[in-house]
Amino acid sequence: MIQCLNINKIYKTANLETQVLKNVSFTINEGEFVAITGPSGSGKSTLMHILGALDSPTSGQYLLGGEDVSQLSEDKLAHIRKNKIGFVFQAFNLLPRTTVLRNVMLPLIYANIPENERLEKAKKALLAAGLDEDRWLNLSNQISGGQMQRVAIARALVNDPSLILADEPTGNLDTKTGEIVLATFSRLNKEKGHTIILITHDQEIAQHADRIITIRDGNILEDNTLSS
């Protein structure tokens, strides 16, 4: 499903070039549950943006579903991001002054899902993400950080994407809620075959995946399949 070949990413700012990813290569098959882990600043979010076709590598090749992302039209890319990938960002990127329920329904509106189905799917996703029903009509800036996290997860799940990319999805959650969210990812992976890439700096959280790719200073340090 995912093939990275010698991916490099260089950020240029006014007087500085930083190489954030260095010859990164790996393959992720459909149905895998992979954690990408490494310390702060190691390049995890940068890599996730490339995997989600939100940013392009400076050099190297990225194939998604066998297609070279750099060769796809903007329309095709938009379609892939809308219909095939569920994103949970490190900063939740919720629309403020908009209800929880509407935030979760938004991807469905963009994907032209009929109105009667939207509500149904949004409710299901919120339940799966573990957000109590009494918060659903709150504005998304009038709930706690942990609750925002769950709204962001529900939004990522709502259009039933084949690939879920989650950047520190448990970062703002207490241990127990974090466990519920991780169990949700495991269930989506095992029962429904979603491919899941979980980005975390936390070794213990990474253990919930079946495979752990460790990056350090933009290099892949280890790539281990866990025996369960």
Ligand X SMILES: Nc1ncnc2c1ncn2[C@@H]1O[C@H](COP(=O)(O)OP(=O)(O)OP(=O)(O)O)[C@@H](O)[C@H]1O
For ligand X, the binding residues (CB under 6 A) are 11, 13, 18, 20, 38, 40-46, 90, 201
Residue 37 interacts with Mg ion (CB under 5 A): yes or no: no
Give the β-pairing of 219-225 and 211-216: antiparallel
- Work out how close the CB of 211 gets to ligand X at its nearest, in angstroms, rounded to a whole number: 18
- Work out how close the CB of 149 gets to ligand X at its nearest, in angstroms, rounded to a whole number: 15
Residue 42 interacts with Mg ion (CB under 5 A): yes or no: no
- Is the distance from CB of 130 to CB of 170 less than 8 angstroms? no
- Work out how close the CB of 70 gets to ligand X at its nearest, in angstroms, rounded to a whole number: 19
Task: Pick the closest to residue 211 from 33, 4, 29, 25 (CA basis).
Answer: 33
Q: 160 vs 217, which CB is nearer to Mg ion?
A: 217
Indicate the burial class of 39 (C-beta count within 10 angstroms; 0-12, 13-18, 19 or more): exposed
The position carrying tokens 């194939």 is 63
- Work out how close the CB of 204 gets to ligand X at its nearest, in angstroms, rounded to a whole number: 15
Task: Pick the closest to residue 127 from 88, 181, 169 (CA basis).
Answer: 181
Nearest position to Mg ion, beta carbon: 45
The position carrying tokens 């259009």 is 159
Structural Rg of the chain based on CA atoms: 17
Residue type, 127: L
Q: 44 vs 121, which CB is nearer to ligand X?
A: 44
Q: 131 vs 215, which CB is nearer to Mg ion?
A: 215
Which residues inside 80-99 make contact with Mg ion, applying CB under 5 A? 90
What does 19 bind: Mg ion, ligand X, none (CB cut-off 5 to 8 Å by kind)? none
Q: How many CB atoms lie within 10 A of CB 99?
A: 17
Q: 41 vs 65, which CB is nearer to ligand X?
A: 41
Residue 45 interacts with Mg ion (CB under 5 A): yes or no: yes
Q: What are phi and psi of 3, to 5 degrees?
A: -135, 120
- Work out how close the CB of 124 gets to ligand X at its nearest, in angstroms, rounded to a whole number: 30
Q: 31 vs 171, which CB is nearer to Mg ion?
A: 171
